[in-house]
């Protein structure tokens, strides 16, 4: 069978990046956004990035059509090579 990196339902797409939810959110600037957040909002965000919560359990994969670009969510911690 094909892996996600080998192709999608449409061969016109390529893999832009693949990483954990935690790394994706941190790359996208979650920490600076939390500076003005309430304690409750910070606790909810922490659950999204904690290793033993959703941060490592959920993954993010990005696809592109046409020319690839440097997507901020995959700048650090890209695991495309593991697909």
Query: Element (H or E) spanning 46, and its range?
Result: helix 39-49
- So what's the pLDDT on residue 11? 77
- Helix-strand-coil split of the chain, %, nearest 5: 40, 20, 40
pTM: 0.82
Q: What is the pLDDT of residues 56-81, one digit of tens each?
A: 999 999 999 999 899 999 999 999 99
* Sequence spans of domains, the chain: 13-76
Q: What is the pLDDT of residues 2-48, one digit of tens each?
A: 565 555 566 789 999 999 999 999 999 999 999 999 999 999 999 99
Q: Which of 22, 62, 24, 27 is CA-nearest to residue 45?
A: 22
- So what's the pLDDT on residue 7? 53
- So what's the pLDDT on residue 31? 95
């Amino acid at each position: 069978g094909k892996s996600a990196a080998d192709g999608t339902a449409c061969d016109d797409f390529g893999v832009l990046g693949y990483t954990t939810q935690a790394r994706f959110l941190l790359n996208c600037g979650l920490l600076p956004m939390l500076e003005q957040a309430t304690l409750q909002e910070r606790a909810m965000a922490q659950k999204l990035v904690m290793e033993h919560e959703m941060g490592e359990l959920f993954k993010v994969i990005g696809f592109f059509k046409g020319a690839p670009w440097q997507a901020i969510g995959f700048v650090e911690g890209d695991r495309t090579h593991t697909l």
